[in-house]
Each structure stands twice: as structure tokens, then as C-alpha cells.
Amino acid sequence: MSTTGKVIRCRAAIVWKPGGSFSIEEVEVAPPKAKEVRVKMVATALCGTEMKMLKTKNLQHQYYPIIMGHEGAGIVESVGEGVSTVKAGDKVIALFLPQCGECTSCLNSAGNFCIKFKQRETHLMSDGTSRFTCKGKPVYHFANTSTFSEYTVMNEISVTKIDAAAPLEKVFLVSCGFSTGYGGAINTAKVTPGSTCAVFGLGGVGLSVIMGCKAAGAARIIAVDINKDKFEKAKEVGATECINPQDYEKPIQEVLFDLTGDGVDFSFEVIGNPETVAAALASCHESHGVCVIIGLVTGVQLNISGHLFFSGRTLKGSVYGGWKGRDGASKLVSDYMAKKINLDALITHTLNFDKINEAVELMKTGKWQCPLCPVTLSMMLTN
């Protein structure tokens, strides 16, 4: 029986208040309006962004209840009026970073921060309303996507059609984690052949940075983390050596200078810790070192000595690895299908959707890179 134009009842993971845990609830998902698509989610991941939101009890906004999730892939169930780039039955990647194709960022070859990204700040759709209700109450959207629901509604510019043969339980990683890390090395830092790189933080995104550095031809890739259990996987995807800051009495930037002689050519902060950002920048070569912030650093001030920039170091930000949302996701899925990139190594465990709170606890242990929750919904742990 067709569900087009009808309200769909399904399960979603709702957070009812700041600092709360996920609650699996039955929700009503309204049909898509103009320029919107309704998608049946197949795979999604728990990312560091959600982990930070769950830990924060005093958020600046009060957008609750809310359905989180911003990394996922699914199949289009129906489309609203005026949608022309996807149709029912298409496999799609959900994009927290949309690509409208019309704003100054989208039209600039060097930009990718689409102005429509700011719509996420309202946690509602373009018309100022929600497509979700639960127990008679409207439920807020998250990051233009809300992938922690069996069905979700997104703007057309927040999805991109992919190869019909692509395995969604693998390629959904290009929705955020893999693209962010891999592109941070390839696009933002522009790692050069023969260079030396340092990667701070070895979650799923950090491992993707390592893969990007390796693909760019880096000769030496130093992985940095306080969890030695992550070292084996880091070396598997391309790290040449791994170090734990807790094994040394001196600051990690001094350790890296000792190891390299003059500092690293490229460093990547993939944790979102202001102190680590300062250390990563200080680890760079004085004259030409480039440090890229990939971890989510918001709501804090960076305390960095201006002296670090005097001789030529560069500090850069990066969102979605510098890829334009729709174009980048499509390209990376095509590269996966052509066996140019390997996403399989980033998926360590799979959980059912109703185990999402178990995924949160496992994420906290640092034992998983990302948790994936399959078919009804997949959950992959990335941090």
C-alpha cells in the first residue's frame, strides 16, 4: 500500500531534555512539502557531535524534544512538489551540509559552506514548522537531517542520489565521518607527497584523516591518542607510527619536534579540544606548517600564542572536509564503488536501532570507532 501523501508512523530516538538520553518512541512523520523529500533510513551513525550534545546540560538553545542524527543513508519514499533531482526509490546520502547551488559559497570553487546550512539553527524546516510529532507535540529537527528516525524529511538540497548498487550500510559514512576526515587532508590541508603529518585523535574521523594523508602520498604519518587500543587500527589504515602523550613528561609538541627535527608539515586536530588545537599548531614546522581543526570546537575561546604565527604557520578550519555537499558525496560513493577508497575498515560493530543508548555507552569507552545500526536503522560509532 502506498504511503505517498500520508502520515507515516515509525520509531525514532528522541531526546526530551538537555542532558537526557535517547528514548525510542513512536512518532508521526508528515508528508514532504515543496522541495522536500521523505526518506526511509537504512543506516546511520552516532557521531562525536551527538555525544557532545548529550553531555551538555546547559545548552544555549532549548530545542527539545529533538530527533538527532546527521550521518546516514536511505531510500526516497516520496517527494514534494518541485523536486527534480531525486525520485521515489532512489538511494540517497543524507547531508548535514546542503548544497543549494546558488549562494556565494556554492558558486565559489573554493567554498563549500552553503548559506542554507544556517537553517539548521532553527531546527525546523524551511517554512518554520516540523514534520515530526510525538504524543501530540511537535519534535525539532537536527542538522537538516534527523537520521535517528526510521523515516525522516529533508530538503532536496540536503540529499544526493547515489549508485543504485551502492551498499548503504557502507557508503553512509560519506555522509559525515569519512568525508570530513579524508577531505580534511586532501582538500583543506592539501597534504603533499613526501610530507610528515600528525593526526591528533583516532576515532573514525581521525582514521579517515590518516587515509587521506596516505592517499596524498605522505611519507610519515604520526598518530596521536591517549588510547593505545586504537593504534593497531591506525596502523592498518596507514599510520607509520603511533604515540601516546601520557608516555612522555614533556608536552606533545616538543615530542613531535624531537621525532621530526623541525616539526610536522601538516597536523590535524580531530578531537575538538582547545588545548589540543594549541598543541597541534605548535607541532607544525615553523615556516610552512599547516594545522587543520577538524574536531568540533564551539562555545569556547582558543588560547593560542600569536608568536606561533610569526614565522609562517597556518591554522585552518574545515567543514565536511571541504567537499561541496551533494557533489562531494556522490563522487566519494562513486570512488568507493570503483574501489578507489575503502570504507569497510571504519565499521567495527553493528547494533540494532533500539540499542542506541548502548552505543552511547560503548562510544564513551573509546573501544569503537563508530557504531552502526543496520536495516531497520544502522548505527556506527564515530568520534
Torsion sign (Cα): 332, 337, 342, 343: positive
pLDDT tens for 86-109 read 999 999 999 999 999 999 999 999
Ranges of beta strands (E only) in 136-228 are 137-139, 151-155, 159-161, 196-200, 220-224
- Catalytic residue check, 213: no
- Catalytic residue check, 70: yes
pLDDT band at 374 (very low <50, low <70, confident <90, very high): very low
Q: Which helix (H) or strand (E) holds 87?
A: none
Residue 27's pLDDT is 97
Topology given in CATH for the domain delimited by 190-317:
Rossmann fold (3.40.50)
pLDDT band at 301 (very low <50, low <70, confident <90, very high): confident
- Catalytic residue check, 211: no
Residue 62's pLDDT is 73
Is the pLDDT at 300 greater than 90, yes or no?
no
pLDDT tens for 118-155 read 766 779 999 999 999 999 999 999 998 999 999 999 99
Strands ordered across the beta sheet of 241-243: 241-243, 220-224, 196-200, 266-269, 290-293, 314-317
- The active-site residue out of 36, 40, 41, 51 is 51
pLDDT band at 353 (very low <50, low <70, confident <90, very high): confident
For residue 32, whether the previous peptide bond is cis, meaning omega lies within 30 degrees of 0, is no
Q: What is the DSSP string of 251-314?
A: -HHHHHHHHHSS-BSEEEE-S--HHHHHHHHHTB-TTT-EEEE-S---SS-----THHHHTT-E
pLDDT band at 358 (very low <50, low <70, confident <90, very high): confident
Higher pLDDT, 330 or 297: 330
CA distance 96 to 74: 14
Residue 60's pLDDT is 52
Q: Are 185 and 266 in contact (CB under 8 A)?
A: yes
Mean pLDDT of the chain: 90
In CATH, the architecture of 8-177+322-378 is: Alpha-Beta Complex (3.90)
- Catalytic residue check, 370: no
- The active-site residue out of 103, 134, 286, 288 is 103
pLDDT band at 320 (very low <50, low <70, confident <90, very high): very high
pLDDT band at 378 (very low <50, low <70, confident <90, very high): very low
pLDDT band at 366 (very low <50, low <70, confident <90, very high): low
pLDDT tens for 58-89 read 555 578 999 999 999 999 999 999 999 999 99
- Catalytic residue check, 106: yes
pLDDT tens for 218-242 read 999 999 999 999 999 999 999 999 9
- Catalytic residue check, 197: no
Residue 368's pLDDT is 53
Residue extents of the structural domains in the chain:
8-177+322-378, 190-317
- The active-site residue out of 100, 213, 379, 380 is 100
- What is the mean predicted confidence (pLDDT) over 170-199? 96
- The active-site residue out of 41, 68, 77, 114 is 114
- Catalytic residue check, 10: no
Residue 350's pLDDT is 83
Cell output for 349: 560493530
Residue 362's pLDDT is 80
Strand partners, 222: 198, 241
Which residues contact residue 19 at a Cβ distance below 8 angstroms, ignoring those fewer than 6 apart?
A: 54, 55, 56, 57
Instruction: List the one residue out of 183, 178, 152, 125 whose CA is nearest residue 69.
Output: 152
Instruction: List the one residue out of 2, 13, 150 whose CA is nearest residue 72.
Output: 150
CA distance 304 to 9: 50
- Catalytic residue check, 242: no
Residue 371's pLDDT is 39
Higher pLDDT, 117 or 185: 185
Q: What is the DSSP string of 4-18?
A: TTS-EEEEEEEE-ST
- Catalytic residue check, 51: yes
- Catalytic residue check, 125: no
Is the pLDDT at 376 greater than 50, yes or no?
no
CA distance 148 to 353: 8
- The active-site residue out of 36, 40, 41, 47 is 47
Instruction: List the one residue out of 144, 159, 129, 139 whose CA is nearest residue 67.
Output: 139
First to last CA, the chain: 40
Residue 218's pLDDT is 98
- The active-site residue out of 70, 141, 230, 233 is 70
